[in-house]
C-alpha cells in the first residue's frame, strides 16, 4: 500500500484552503452553488467567497455586525440572501462586486421559524419553515419580494437538489414521511408523499430519520434518494443504504439496497456515478455501482455488495509535509463529492483512480462494463484492450478469439448507441442529464490498441492479427456500424505482409470488405506484389459505378500512366485524350521508361490520326518533346506497339 497508485480514492491536490473556524470566523457552505463563505467578525471584517467553480476569490464587507444563520448567493451571483434571525431573510443586490441595495422579507406565517432557504432560480427563492414552505419571486431592480405560493406542512428538516430543482421535506413524528416539491418558473408542483420503510419504531415515537442520514443524488441521469439505516435487519449484519427512485407520477419506489456489512458512523459521496460510503471507525471507504453485475434480487429490489473490498483514501499531506487526518470527526461531507474540514481549513473534491480498480477486478467482462460507465476512462480501456489482446496472443486455452470478440461486441454496442442516439429519456423518472458511456471508436482502436500489431512480425503473430482484425470487423458489421477504410487497410497490409493473397482474394470475393474508392485505390497500389489486385480494383470500381474518367484519374494519381492508357484502350477512345495530361504525369513520375513508353504511344497516335508523329502547337507539348530529346536524343518515329499486354 506504499505505492500511491494503489489507492482508489484520493483528495484533490488542488484543494481550496480557507481560514479555519474560530471565535472570529464562521464558515458556511452553499451546496447548490458549491460556494464556501468565510464570515469574519460577523461580516464587518469581510466575507470571503471561494469555491471549485469560481475563477477567483470574491470578497465583500457587511455594513453591520450580526450573527448569520445561513448565507447563499443566487445562481447568477446578483443577489445575496442572508438569514440573520429566525423569521427574516435579508437580500443584498450586487453590481460589479459592490452592494447596491438592501431589503428583506419575513416569513408569512405567524411565529413561523425559518429553518432554511434555497434558491430555485436566479430570481426565485423558497423559505422552508417549521410550519411549511413559502415560494417567493425576487425583483432586484425594484427591491421587491413577491409572494407566489405557500404550502402548510409540519417540517422536521429538508434536502434540496439544484439540478432537478426538487425539495424533499421530512414530516411525521419519526421523520420517515417525505413530501416532495419540484419548482419551475413561478410554479411549485407537489409530488406524491411517501414513507421510508422503518422497522423497530420507538415507543414513545421520536425522530429517527435525520438529515445527516439521507442524500438526494444523481446516478446515471436519474434522481435517487439515499437513506442510511443503522438498525440491523434479519438479512443484514450491518447498516444498509436504500435507494429510492424519484418519479414524476406515482410514488417513489425502492429499487436498490447497498449492504454495508459494517456499523458505526457513515458519510456518503457520489463520484462518477459511484456511491462512496465512508466508514469512520475502520477509516475505509466502500464503493458501490448500481449498474454492476452480481447484485442479488429479492422481489423487485437489487441488493448490492461493494465493487471491491473496503479501501482507505490516499494519504494527504499539507504542503507535502504534514499528514492530514483522514476520516476526521471534523469532516463534513456534501454532495456530490465535496469534503470539508472547517477546523483545518480545507475543501477537497473526492476523486476516483481507475488503475488500481483494474488490477483488483479479475473478470475482464465485468471490468469492461464498469469502465465503459466511467468518465475519462478511455485511456484505461484502450490500454486494457491492448493488454488483453497481447495476453491472448500467447494464450493456449480454447476459444481465445471468442473471448476477444465478446469484448469487441461490448465496446461496439456502446459505439453503436452513440451513433444512433439510443439513450433517450425513459419518461417517468426525473432526468438530470443523459449519462453517456465512454465511446471507443475505430480511430481509438486503430491508434491506441491495434498499434501493438506493428510490434511483431512473426508468422504466427500475423495469423493471430488477421483473426483479431477479422473479429473486430465482424463485430462492427453485426452492429451495423460502417467500417472505416483504415481498418480495412490495416488488415490488407497484414495479409500482404504475410503473403496471404488467397485469403485476401477470399475476403474480397465474399465481401468481408465493404466496397469503397479508397479501398479500390489501395488494391491498385498492390499490383507489384499481387498481379490480380488490378482486376479486383477495377471490379470494385464497377460495382461502385465509378465513371471511367475518374478511374483514369485514380491511375494517374498513382503515376500508373501506362495502365491508365491501357484502360482507355479497352474502355474508351484514346484518340480524344489529352497528350499533355498524360505526358505531364509520365514526366513527374521520374521514371524514364514510363516517359519513353507514353511519349512513343502518342507519337504513334499522332501518326495514325494525322500522318505525322509530331505534336501540333495547340497541344502545348513542346516541353515534353524537349525533355525527350534531353533523355534519348531526337525522336525517330518507329512503329512500336508499346502498350500491349
139: in domain = yes
CA-based nearest residue to 35, from 61, 14, 59, 66: 59
Domain termination site, one of 483, 512, 534: 483
Torsion angles phi and psi, residue 294, rounded to 5: 105, 0
The mean pLDDT of 299-311, rounded to a whole number, is 94
DSSP track, 299-354: TTEEEE--SSS-BPPPP-EETTTEEPPTT-TTEEEETTTEEEETTTTEEEEEEE-H
Which pLDDT score, from 0 to 100, does residue 373 have?
93
Q: Based on the fold, state whether residues 437 and 347 are members of the same structural domain.
A: no
Which pLDDT score, from 0 to 100, does residue 464 have?
87
Which pLDDT score, from 0 to 100, does residue 535 have?
82
pLDDT band of 455, cuts 50, 70, 90: low
Which pLDDT score, from 0 to 100, does residue 233 have?
62
Mean pLDDT of the chain: 88
pLDDT band of 432, cuts 50, 70, 90: low
Q: Based on the fold, state whether residues 385 and 292 are members of the same structural domain.
A: no
Q: Is residue 389 exposed (0-12), middle (13-18) or buried (19+ Cβ within 10 Å)?
A: buried
**Residue 571 pLDDT exceeds 50:** yes
Which residues neighbour 305 within 8 Å (Cβ) at sequence distance 6 or greater? 259, 261, 294, 295
Between helices 533-543 and 501-509, what is the axis angle to 10°?
A: 10
Q: Based on the fold, state whether residues 411 and 334 are members of the same structural domain.
A: no
pLDDT band of 61, cuts 50, 70, 90: very high
CA dihedral 66, 69, 73, 74 (to 10 degrees): -120
Do the beta carbons of residue 473 and residue 429 sit within 8 Å?
A: no
Kindly report the CATH number assigned to the domain that includes residue 292. Answer: 2.130.10.10
Q: Based on the fold, state whether residues 340 and 469 are members of the same structural domain.
A: no
Q: Is residue 31 exposed (0-12), middle (13-18) or buried (19+ Cβ within 10 Å)?
A: middle
pLDDT band of 618, cuts 50, 70, 90: confident
Q: Based on the fold, state whether residues 477 and 567 are members of the same structural domain.
A: no
Beta carbons within 10 angstroms of residue 299's beta carbon: 6
64: in domain = yes
Domain termination site, one of 465, 483, 501: 483
Q: Based on the fold, state whether residues 405 and 309 are members of the same structural domain.
A: no
- DSSP-derived pairing of the beta strands 144-152 and 317-318: unpaired
The mean pLDDT of 601-615, rounded to a whole number, is 88
**DSSP-assigned letter for residue 112:** P
Domain termination site, one of 357, 373, 395: 357
Q: Based on the fold, state whether residues 418 and 430 are members of the same structural domain.
A: yes
351-391 pLDDT, tens digit each: 999 999 888 888 888 899 999 999 989 999 999 888 888 87
444-456 burial, b at 16+ Cβ within 10 Å, e below that, comes to: bbbebbbebbeee
520: in domain = no
Q: Based on the fold, state whether residues 237 and 194 are members of the same structural domain.
A: yes
Beta carbons within 10 angstroms of residue 639's beta carbon: 10
Q: How far does CA 63 lie from the centroid of its chain?
A: 46
496: in domain = no
DSSP track, 474-541: HHHHHTTPPPPHHHHHHHHHHHHHTT-HHHHHHHHHTTSSPP-HHHHHHHHHTTTT-TTHHHHHHHHH
Torsion angles phi and psi, residue 248, rounded to 5: -75, -40
Q: Based on the fold, state whether residues 299 and 365 are members of the same structural domain.
A: no
**Residue 314 pLDDT exceeds 80:** yes
pLDDT band of 234, cuts 50, 70, 90: low
Spell out the alpha helix ranges (H) of 353-510. Answer: 354-360, 364-372, 378-392, 400-420, 442-444, 459-478, 485-497, 501-509
Which pLDDT score, from 0 to 100, does residue 1 have?
37
529: in domain = no
Which pLDDT score, from 0 to 100, does residue 641 have?
47
Which residue, chain included where needed, has cell 473534491? 349
Give how many domains the chain has, as a whole number: 3
Residue 100: domain span? 4-199+208-357
Q: Is residue 70 exposed (0-12), middle (13-18) or buried (19+ Cβ within 10 Å)?
A: middle
The larger pLDDT score, comparing residue 641 to residue 84, is at 84
531: in domain = no
Q: Based on the fold, state whether residues 216 and 73 are members of the same structural domain.
A: yes
Highest mean pLDDT among 200-204, 217-221, 638-642: 217-221
In SS3 terms, 8-30 reads as CEEECCCCEECCCCCCCEEEEEE
Which of 216-230, 421-435, 484-498, 516-530 has the least mean pLDDT?
421-435
Q: Based on the fold, state whether residues 26 and 158 are members of the same structural domain.
A: yes
168-196 burial, b at 16+ Cβ within 10 Å, e below that, comes to: bbbbbebbbbbbbbbbeeeebeebeebeb
Highest mean pLDDT among 59-68, 457-466, 469-478, 537-546: 469-478
Which pLDDT score, from 0 to 100, does residue 262 have?
92
The mean pLDDT of 425-447, rounded to a whole number, is 75
215: in domain = yes
Q: Is residue 351 exposed (0-12), middle (13-18) or buried (19+ Cβ within 10 Å)?
A: middle
Instruction: Name the percent of the chain lying above pLDDT 90.
Output: 54
Do the beta carbons of residue 258 and residue 277 sit within 8 Å?
A: yes
Give the containing element (helix H, strand E) for 599. Answer: helix 592-610
DSSP track, 160-197: EETTTTEEEEEESSSS-EEEEEEEETTEEEEPPPEE--
540: in domain = no
- Residue 144 has, within 13 A of its CA and on its CB side, a CA count of 7
Q: Rounded to an integer, what distance in angstroms lies between the CA atom of residue 139 and that of residue 147? A: 11
User: Which residues on adjacent β-strands are paired with residue 179?
Assistant: 169
**Residue 456 pLDDT exceeds 60:** no
Q: Rounded to an integer, what distance in angstroms lies between the CA atom of residue 234 and that of residue 227? A: 18
**Residue 348 pLDDT exceeds 50:** yes
The larger pLDDT score, comparing residue 533 to residue 253, is at 253
Q: Based on the fold, state whether residues 250 and 131 are members of the same structural domain.
A: yes
Which of 12-26, 335-349, 554-568 has the least mean pLDDT?
554-568
CA dihedral 118, 120, 126, 129 (to 10 degrees): -40
What 3-state DSSP class applies to 49?
A: strand
**Residue 2 pLDDT exceeds 90:** no
Amino acid at each position: 500500500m506504499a505505492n500511491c497508485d494503489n489507492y482508489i480514492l484520493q483528495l484533490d491536490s488542488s484543494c481550496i484552503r480557507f481560514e479555519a473556524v474560530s471565535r472570529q470566523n464562521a464558515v458556511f457552505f452553499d451546496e447548490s452553488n458549491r460556494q464556501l463563505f468565510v464570515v469574519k467578525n460577523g461580516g464587518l471584517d469581510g466575507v470571503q467567497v471561494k469555491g471549485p467553480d469560481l475563477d477567483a476569490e470574491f470578497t465583500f464587507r457587511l455594513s453591520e455586525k450580526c450573527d448569520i444563520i445561513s448565507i447563499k448567493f443566487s445562481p447568477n451571483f446578483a443577489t445575496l440572501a442572508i438569514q440573520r434571525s429566525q423569521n427574516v431573510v435579508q437580500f443584498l443586490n450586487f453590481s460589479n462586486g459592490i452592494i447596491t441595495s438592501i431589503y428583506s422579507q419575513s416569513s408569512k406565517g405567524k411565529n413561523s421559524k425559518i429553518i432554511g432557504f434555497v434558491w430555485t432560480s436566479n430570481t426565485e427563492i423558497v423559505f422552508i419553515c417549521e410550519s411549511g414552505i413559502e415560494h417567493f419571486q425576487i425583483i432586484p431592480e425594484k427591491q421587491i419580494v413577491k409572494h407566489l405560493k405557500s404550502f402548510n406542512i409540519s417540517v422536521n428538516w429538508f434536502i434540496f437538489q439544484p439540478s432537478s430543482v426538487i425539495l424533499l421535506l421530512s414530516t411525521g413524528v419519526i421523520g420517515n414521511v417525505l413530501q416532495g416539491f419540484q419548482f419551475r418558473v413561478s410554479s411549485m408542483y407537489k409530488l406524491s408523499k411517501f414513507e421510508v420503510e422503518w422497522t423497530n419504531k420507538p415507543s414513545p415515537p421520536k425522530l429517527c430519520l435525520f438529515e445527516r442520514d439521507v442524500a438526494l443524488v444523481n446516478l446515471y441521469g436519474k434522481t435517487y434518494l439515499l437513506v442510511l439505516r443503522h438498525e440491523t435487519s434479519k438479512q443484514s449484519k450491518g447498516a444498509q443504504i436504500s435507494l429510492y427512485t424519484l418519479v414524476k407520477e406515482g410514488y417513489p419506489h425502492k429499487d436498490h439496497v447497498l449492504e454495508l456489512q459494517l456499523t458505526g458512523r457513515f458519510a456518503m459521496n457520489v463520484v462518477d456515478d459511484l456511491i462512496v460510503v465512508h466508514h469512520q471507525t475502520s477509516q475505509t471507504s466502500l464503493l458501490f455501482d448500481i449498474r454492476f453485475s452480481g447484485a442479488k434480487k429479492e422481489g423487485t429490489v437489487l441488493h448490492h455488495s461493494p465493487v471491491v473490498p473496503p479501501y482507505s483514501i490516499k494519504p494527504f499531506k499539507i504542503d507535502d509535509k504534514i499528514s492530514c487526518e483522514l476520516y476526521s470527526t471534523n469532516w463534513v461531507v456534501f454532495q456530490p463529492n465535496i469534503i470539508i474540514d472547517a477546523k483545518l481549513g480545507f475543501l477537497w473534491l473526492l476523486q476516483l483512480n481507475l488503475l488500481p480498480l483494474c488490477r483488483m477486478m479479475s473478470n475482464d467482462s465485468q471490468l469492461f462494463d464498469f469502465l465503459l460507465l466511467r468518465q475519462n476512462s478511455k485511456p484505461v480501456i484502450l490500454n486494457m484492450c491492448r493488454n488483453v489482446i497481447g495476453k491472448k496472443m500467447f494464450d493456449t486455452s480454447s476459444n481465445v478469439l471468442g473471448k476477444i470478440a465478446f469484448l469487441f461486441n461490448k465496446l461496439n454496442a456502446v459505439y453503436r448507441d452513440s451513433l444512433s442516439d439510443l439513450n433517450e429519456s425513459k419518461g417517468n423518472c426525473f432526468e438530470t442529464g443523459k449519462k453517456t458511456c465512454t465511446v471507443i471508436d475505430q480511430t481509438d482502436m486503430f491508434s491506441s490498441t491495434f498499434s501493438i500489431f506493428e510490434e511483431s512480425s512473426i508468422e504466427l503473430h500475423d495469423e493471430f492479427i488477421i483473426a483479431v482484425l477479422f473479429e473486430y470487423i465482424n463485430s462492427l458489421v453485426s452492429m451495423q456500424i460502417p467500417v472505416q477504410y483504415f481498418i480495412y487497410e490495416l488488415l490488407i497490409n497484414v495479409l500482404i505482409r504475410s503473403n496471404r493473397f488467397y485469403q485476401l482474394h477470399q475476403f474480397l470475393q465474399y465481401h468481408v470488405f465493404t466496397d469503397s474508392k479508397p479501398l479500390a485505390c489501395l488494391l491498385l497500389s498492390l499490383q507489384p506484389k499481387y498481379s490480380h489486385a488490378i482486376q479486383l480494383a477495377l471490379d470494385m470500381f464497377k460495382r461502385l459505378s465509378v465513371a471511367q474518367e475518374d478511374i483514369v484519374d485514380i491511375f494517374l494519381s498513382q503515376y500508373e500512366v501506362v495502365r491508365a492508357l491501357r484502360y482507355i484502350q479497352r474502355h474508351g477512345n484514346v484518340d480524344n485524350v489529352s497528350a499533355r495530361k498524360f505526358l505531364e504525369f509520365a514526366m513527374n513520375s521520374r521514371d524514364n521508361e514510363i516517359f519513353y513508353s507514353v511519349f512513343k504511344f502518342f507519337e504513334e497516335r499522332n501518326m495514325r490520326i494525322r500522318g505525322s508523329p509530331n505534336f501540333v502547337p495547340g497541344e502545348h507539348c513542346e516541353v515534353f518533346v524537349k525533355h525527350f530529346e534531353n533523355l534519348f536524343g531526337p525522336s525517330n518515329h518507329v512503329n512500336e506497339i508499346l502498350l500491349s499486354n
